[in-house]
Amino acid sequence: AVSVALFTADLRLRDNPVLHGALRDAPEVVPLFVVDDGVRAAGFRVPNRAAFLADCLADLDAALRERGGRLVVARGDVVAETCRVAAAVGAATVHLAADVSGYAARREERLRVALAADGRRLTVHDGTVTAVPPGAIAPQGKDHFAVFSPYFRRWDAMSLRDVLRAPRTVRVPEVRSARLPTAPGLASGTPSPGLPEGGESAARRRLRAWERGPLDAYADRHDDLAGDATSRLSPYLHFGCVSANELVHRARRHGGAGADAFVRQLAWRDFHHQVLAARPDAAHRDYRDRRSEPWRNTDALAGAVTAWREGRTGFPVVDAAMRQLAHEGWMHNRGRLLVASFLTKTLNVHWRVGARHFLDLLVDGDLANNQLNWQWVAGTGNDTRPNRVLNPLSQARRFDPRGDYVRRWVPELAGIEGRAVHRPWRLDADLDYPDPIVEPW
Ligand code: FAD
């Protein structure tokens, strides 16, 4: 007997319920990844994530080869290709991770129907992408939590499934495979120069360095822009190179205030996933509009939006964060908050404009976390203070008190010492740096 493990956002061997389920089912398994035309058509395959994905697939293939197997790659429509491979090897069952976007829900349904028409079965595994499955906890009479604090109380009391070991051997039957994709084969365009390396092996290295180093100080230091004291595990979580379930288990075992604060952030990830699972249209539409200010016409603000994208707004901390995004395909959470507030609350440009730019560049770019965090900041989401505006100057003074973050990312200002770097317009200096695009306040 043979089964198929269809990899999606779970590109790992450790703690992978999909692979585990497939191996329990049958002595031979096809570990399958389909380079899905639907993902490209949705505009979701961009150079940064393509480069990271290529690393992930190469690493997964190498790890499977160490265990006697290999990754099988197909290209095209994910449903048609999975059915073709299942038929070629005579698999009775295909295993898949439950996921939350509208696209993932349609994929699952189409796959179930198409496999059933061939007399095959689809087995869907919860708790692969998130630690607590969406829908596992909900307020009385509702399908999801709209506010984080009560969600977190219930989430924190849940017992999680045990962490699954990586299999020792994986026997793969004879079946045709396309070549492993390269980054240019996945998306055209040039990736950012400072991208992290993708894959489960790189995720394990980062995780070990995180646990040995910054984790204990995370509660106090996570907002320090220059200190870079967060885990940077988000791209690995996005592609499933490490599981949220394992991270929560390990952090709880590690213990302490830093680990507690880290677990709380992982709960935010699950929180947004359960919102999107219940309201997939929130990826594109306002979750609930409680803004007091109307949106301004983006065409009239085209110059300001371009300046924001390019990190030339004249507000150094905003520009530093936008340039970090362009260079690394990643931005510090405090940076994300303040640049999103600047676009949606100061310029009053619609959150979708900013969310699209983020999705074009972020390696961790993810519908649940990106769209819903944008909505949170914009005042159309779950924030209990929808009309709060973050002032870039007070944010800079609090979270980059010495100005190191700005000097690192804005070379035009690198010669200015101390916190004066946050207000270059006050200096009597000839700087090759723009004036603020709105009056500083
Ligand atoms: P850490 O501080 O080490 O946190 C650990 C993990 O907790 C993160 O890897 C992430 O999985 C989760 N997490 C932390 N904060 C949040 C949060 N606010 N919401 C959801 N999960 C969180 N995160 C993404 O993964 N993908 C996105 O596309 C994304 N877009 C964002 C857009 C905006 C406007 C904002 C304000 C936040 C966004 N975030 C997004 C959330 C957060 O900024 C990143 O998860 C975090 O900066 C990743 O860095 P880290 O792994 O070092 O985080």
Q: What is the pLDDT of residues 61-115, one digit of tens each?
A: 999 999 999 999 999 999 999 999 999 999 999 999 999 999 999 999 999 999 9
CA 93 – ligand 1 centroid, Å: 35
The backbone region for 66, taken as left when phi is positive above 0, alpha when psi lies in -120 to 50, beta otherwise, is: alpha
336 in ligand 1 pocket by Cβ < 6 Å?
A: yes
pLDDT of residue 43: 83
The pLDDT > 70 percentage for the chain reads 100
Select from 193, 233, 414 the least CA-distant residue to 320: 414
pLDDT of residue 265: 98
265 in ligand 1 pocket by Cβ < 6 Å?
A: yes
CA 439 – ligand 1 centroid, Å: 30
Which residue matches tokens 């079965």? 121
CA 234 – ligand 1 centroid, Å: 6
* Ligand 1 atom closest to the CA of 222, numbered from 1: 2
Fold of 130-159+202-278: 1.25.40
CA distances from 176 to 56, 226, 427 (A): 21, 49, 66
Nearest CA to ligand 1 atom 2: 230
Chain segment 22-63, per-residue pLDDT in tens: 999 999 999 999 999 988 888 888 999 999 999 999 999 999
pLDDT of residue 298: 86
Q: Yes or no: say if 22 and 29 are a contact pair by the CB < 8 Å rule.
A: yes
276 in ligand 1 pocket by Cβ < 6 Å?
A: no
369 in ligand 1 pocket by Cβ < 6 Å?
A: yes
pLDDT of residue 44: 86
Q: Yes or no: say if 205 and 105 are a contact pair by the CB < 8 Å rule.
A: no
H-helix or E-strand containing 24? Answer: helix 17-25
What ipTM was reported for this prediction?
0.99
**CB neighbour list of residue 302: distance below 8 Å, 6 or more residues apart:** none
Nearest CA to ligand 1 atom 50: 232
CA 153 – ligand 1 centroid, Å: 20
Pocket test for ligand 1, best of 333, 375, 376 (most atoms within 8 A of CB): 333
- Report domain extents, the chain: 2-128, 130-159+202-278, 302-426
* Ligand 1 atom closest to the CA of 359, numbered from 1: 28
203 in ligand 1 pocket by Cβ < 6 Å?
A: no
* Ligand 1 atom closest to the CA of 272, numbered from 1: 20
CATH class of 2-128: alpha beta
Largest pairwise CA distance in the chain = 77
Nearest CA to ligand 1 atom 29: 370
What does the angle CA 7 – CA 10 – CA 14 come to, to the nearest 5 degrees?
A: 110
Select from 147, 144, 146, 128 the least CA-distant residue to 136: 144
Fold of 302-426: DNA Cyclobutane Dipyrimidine Photolyase, subunit A; domain 3 (1.10.579)
What single DSSP character describes residue 1? -
356 in ligand 1 pocket by Cβ < 6 Å?
A: no
- What are the phi and psi torsion angles at 200 (to 5°)? -65, -35
Nearest CA to ligand 1 atom 13: 265
CA 332 – ligand 1 centroid, Å: 8
* Ligand 1 atom closest to the CA of 365, numbered from 1: 28
CA 115 – ligand 1 centroid, Å: 36
- Cβ-based neighbour number of residue 58 at 10 Å: 17
Pocket test for ligand 1, best of 234, 352, 383 (most atoms within 8 A of CB): 234
* Ligand 1 atom closest to the CA of 354, numbered from 1: 34
pLDDT of residue 217: 97
pLDDT of residue 184: 93
pLDDT of residue 101: 94
pLDDT of residue 260: 98
What does the angle CA 310 – CA 312 – CA 316 come to, to the nearest 5 degrees?
A: 120
Binding residues: 218, 230-234, 262, 364-366
How do the pLDDT tens digits run along the chain, 441 residues long?
999 999 999 999 999 999 999 999 999 999 999 999 988 888 888 999 999 999 999 999 999 999 999 999 999 999 999 999 999 999 999 999 999 999 999 999 999 999 999 999 999 999 999 999 999 999 999 999 999 999 999 999 999 999 999 999 999 999 999 999 999 999 999 999 999 999 999 999 999 999 999 999 999 999 999 999 999 999 999 999 999 999 999 999 999 999 999 999 999 999 999 999 999 999 999 999 999 999 999 888 999 999 999 999 999 999 999 999 999 999 999 999 999 999 999 999 999 999 999 999 999 999 999 999 999 999 999 988 999 999 999 999 999 999 999 999 999 999 999 999 999 999 988 999 999 999 999
